[in-house]
Structure formats: C-alpha cells, structure tokens
Amino acid sequence: MNAIDEARSADVIVVGAGNAATSAALTVHEQGAKAVMLESAHFEARGGNSHYTGGAYRFAHNGIEDLLKISPDISDEERESIDFGTYTEDQYFDDMARMSQYRADPDMIEILVRSSFDAALWMREQGVRFQPSLGRQAFKVDGKFRFWGGLTLQIWGGGAQLVATLHAKAEKAGIPVLYETPAVALLHDAGGVHGVRVNHQGQNYDLKAKSVVLACGGFEANAEMRARYLGPGWDLAKVRGTRFNTGKGITMALDIGAMPYGHWSGCHAVAWDLNAPPFGDLTVGDRFQKHNVPFCIMVNANGERFRDEGSDFHSYTYARYGGEILRQPGMFAWQVFDHKVVHLLRDEYSIRQITKAKADTIEELASKLEGVDGQRFLETVAEFNGAVKTDIPFDPNVKDGRCTESLAIDKTNWANTIDTPPFEAYAVTAGVTFTFGGLKVSTKAEVEDTAGNPIPGLFGAGELVGGLYYNNYASGTGLVAGSVFGRIAGKQAAAFARG
Ligand SMILES: Cc1cc2nc3c(=O)[nH]c(=O)nc-3n(C[C@H](O)[C@H](O)[C@H](O)COP(=O)(O)OP(=O)(O)OC[C@H]3O[C@@H](n4cnc5c(N)ncnc54)[C@H](O)[C@@H]3O)c2cc1C
C-alpha cells in the first residue's frame, strides 16, 4: 500500500508531527481508532518546534514524592543535595494569570493546570524520561541546589529525544506518518469537516476521514504573517525553530469560518545569537538563546541599558527579551558580564557558534562591542557600578533585592558591579519562538466557528490554539499544553469518528 492509500484508511487525520500531534495520534490509538499523521517536513526535520526544545516541562507537584513518580531515577544523593521545593496548582494558576496580565482563558488554564501532572505521568508511560533541570532552573549555593521557579524536571535528551521516543511509540502502534506532505486545505461542507487536501510529491490528494486534528503550529516561520500581525520589524526576526510552522493550519481553519482567538499581535521571542541562521539548526537546538539576562547588564547601540535586567527570574521574563531587543536601534544588544558571575552562565554560553567579545579591561571591552557607542557604554557602566547596593548579599536562587538606586532604569535584583576582569559580552537579537494568536477551541478541543459553535469533525491542539498566552509566558508551558490539549483532541476526535 502506498502512503496515500494507507492514509485513506485512517479514521482520524492528525495534521502535524510535533508533541501535540503525536500526543493526539497516540491517544486516538489508545481509544481504538486509526490515526495518521501528516508532516510537512522530511524525516530528519520532523517534529516541528518540539524537536528544538530543551525539554523544560512545567507541571504542578507537591514535592519529591510526586517527582519520583515522574523521575524514579532521582537518587538518594540527589535528594540530599537538591531542594526541589513544591509547585502547587495554585502557584501554577497564579503564574498563568499573572504572566498573561489576567487575560488567559480561565477554562483553558484550569484544564492545563489540573491535567499537567497527569500529562507528565502519561509521557513517562510513553517512554519519555525526565531529569532534574539543574543549572538551568536551580543554582548551587552553599553546596545545595535550590529550585526557584517551580520548573523542576526537564525531558532527558531534550526535544530530540522527546520526538524520537513519541515517534517510536507511534510506529509501534502502527500509526503512519506521511512526510513531506503538507495539508493545504480542509474538506468541508455544511455538515462539517470530512478530511484534508494534501500535497504529496507535487500532487494534490483529497484524503477523507471521519475527523481531523489540527496540531501544526503557529505562524512564527511566516515572515509575511509576522509583519502583518506582530507588527513592523518582526519580519526581520530570526526564527528559533522549524521553518515549517507557516500558519497554514490556522489559515485553513479561518477559511472555513473558524474563530480567531488569543493575542494575535503577541509572540514568544527571546535573546538569540546575533549571527544565528534565519531558522533553527537542529544540531544546536535551543542553544543560540542567551537567557542569563538577570546576571548581566544589557546595552543597546547607544551604549545604554533599556530594561530592568533583574525584574524577575528569567523563566518569567525571557519570552519578552526578543521584542524589547527588536525595538532597539539596529535590533541588537550586548549582554555584559564580569568574572564574578560567569560560573553561573548556562551551557548555551559556551557553544562554538557564538558572537562573543572578551577583554581584560572595560575600556578594551568597549572597543570590542561592535556597533555600540563605546564612550557612552563606559559612562553607563560607571553609573551602574556607582548605583549598586553592595551591602545587600547576592543570591541567584531568590529574588535577592540587591538592586541599584537612582538610575533612570534601575536593576531590582541580582545587581553586581561590573568591575572584575576578564569581562565577557554576547551579542543578541530577537529570536521568535512561537506566536500567541490562533484558533478558538472548546474545553473538548473542538474548533469553534465565529458564532461559538463547534465545527463538526474539527479539533485543534498545541501552538495553533489561542487563549493561553498573552503578553508573556512561563517557561516550560508549551510542551505541557501540547500534551494536555493533544490528548483531549485525540480522545474527542476518536469519539467523534466512532459516531
Ligand atoms: C528553540 C526552542 C526551544 C523551546 N524550548 C521549550 C522548552 O524547553 N519547553 C517547552 O515547554 N517549550 C519549549 N519551546 C516551545 C515548544 O516548542 C512549543 O510550545 C511546542 O513544541 C509546540 O508543540 P506543537 O506540537 O504545537 O508544535 P510543533 O512541535 O511546532 O509541531 C508542529 C508540526 O506541524 C507541522 N506542520 C506545520 N504546517 C503543516 C502543514 N500544513 N501540514 C502538515 N504538517 C505541518 C510541523 O512540521 C510540525 O511537525 C521551545 C521552542 C523552541 C523553538
């Protein structure tokens, strides 16, 4: 049987092959129905943005006993030396509400938060392994690691391992994946959605199915849509992940009357190496990112600071760095560290593909910061150093209140004087991760039309759904949301297919 004929025998077509799509397809299979996945990418690039992730996975838990259910490999020694803390459902609710400035859809948050632990358990059952996120989410102080942001476990092997594991499971379940087969339209009439038109090896085919799950990402890889919806300049941002998330799933659904929902002019965008390629590189993964803003001063082309680098832990601020850098002259910035804090830098600061300057004096560093007004930079450093409240102890694991006083833009935590050589600086621009706007789905993952009614036979999950993120984002939520809503979409699509 050729690939197209195989797809014709499926009950449910799942568009996409990332985390949300594989979660949906595996759930369709669990429900006793037959799924097929459509993937725009070729085999090596499969799995969308999920493939590029570091695997941070934000779920609610009540401490080590819960964590051991997800990660039984945590040793007694690790239990001794790590303070895992707790991350209660209430804290998760607060984070989702606060990050979105109280705009996130309450029904969606409720489902996300209450199902998050179960989603992690289910991932574990699929063969996905987890490990403590040391170094990224906890620092070692006085011999002990202490988690500060609630995000304690990450997927072992990151996105590459996640995609390999879920796809191996799908293969075992006999779920075919049609590679290089983008969906181009939905087959639709007054009765609802009855399948998908695909392009396969240069030819269009109409694939009928009882139901369809759209899980094919946002529009972050589409420069035209970025400029149209995010605004001027966003077409010039670098794309952190896959080139295949061009918004087609969203536009196909809007074309048949689906409701746009969420923060259409908002996106997740980080500080990303200035010379990174235009789209993600799977051999580097997420490591073009430069997330240690809380320990640096960040200066623009004018040699001036432009944000409070220490306003919060990076997990709660990093998704906004990209937009802020995009608005600076020339769309770049330099992150400047002195020797006192370089031991805290994440692994992403030591990759080979990096735009870095290093110097033994601050004057020498000023001459090496390409594109920056060196004189003004030196003044900025002097003003900053003079304003640091050095009597407050520095502690990277808590919001330590070690601040500056009386600057035009104060740094409110983790302020250290920049005075100990060697000095290091890293050039960054805006790297867009994913877009916040998307489709409106019901609590059963049914895609709704503009009148608020479910479009029969059409379900949605993952990044293409709007309503969860507005203005900001708490790290590690995207993968959990894909698992949670992917599983709901799979269950409901299977039930719909059964009639
Ligand atoms: C560099 C990077 C690091 C990240 N790190 C983390 C992290 O540590 N933790 C976290 O929670 N989140 C992280 N994220 C965000 C996370 O990747 C997403 O939230 C999540 O993976 C989205 O899953 P998804 O299944 O909705 O989309 P994706 O994984 O992007 O999958 C979309 C799929 O649809 C396919 N597709 C697109 N259009 C079509 C079409 N027309 N027809 C057929 N197929 C199509 C794509 O090829 C892809 O297979 C990161 C993202 C990036 C880019």
Mean pLDDT of 179-186: 98
Instruction: Judge whether 52 lies within some domain.
Output: yes
Testing ligand 1's pocket by substitution, the residue of 53, 321, 353 carrying the most ligand atoms inside 8 A of its CB is 53
Q: Which atom of ligand 1 is nearest to the CA of 481?
A: 19
Do 421 and 457 fall into the same domain? Answer: no
Q: Is the pLDDT of residue 396 over 70?
A: yes
> Domain of 129: which CATH number?
3.50.50.60
Instruction: Judge whether 249 lies within some domain.
Output: no
Q: Is the pLDDT of residue 135 over 90?
A: no
- Residue 43, Cα to own-chain centre: how many angstroms? 22
256 falls in which pLDDT band (50, 70, 90)? Answer: very high
Testing ligand 1's pocket by substitution, the residue of 14, 44, 49, 243 carrying the most ligand atoms inside 8 A of its CB is 49
Return the closest-CA partner of residue 423 out of 366, 354, 351, 379: 366
Distance from Cα 23 to the centre of ligand 1, integer Å: 12
Q: Is the pLDDT of residue 144 over 90?
A: no
| Contact call for residues 18 and 24 (beta carbons, < 8 A) | no
Q: Is the pLDDT of residue 136 over 80?
A: no
1 falls in which pLDDT band (50, 70, 90)? Answer: low
Instruction: Judge whether 254 lies within some domain.
Output: no
Task: Tell me if 478 CB under 6 Å of ligand 1.
Answer: yes
Q: Is the pLDDT of residue 146 over 70?
A: yes
What's the number of domains the chain is made of? 2
User: What is the residue range of 136's domain?
Assistant: 3-218+437-498
Choosing from 431, 452, 471, the residue where a domain stops is: 431
Testing ligand 1's pocket by substitution, the residue of 50, 95, 464 carrying the most ligand atoms inside 8 A of its CB is 50
Distance CA 16, CA 178 (A): 10
Instruction: Judge whether 253 lies within some domain.
Output: no
Alpha carbons within 13 A on the beta-carbon side of 313: 21
Distance from Cα 18 to the centre of ligand 1, integer Å: 6
Choosing from 386, 404, 431, the residue where a domain stops is: 431
Instruction: Judge whether 239 lies within some domain.
Output: no
Return the closest-CA partner of residue 297 out of 244, 366, 250, 355: 366
Do 210 and 286 fall into the same domain? Answer: no
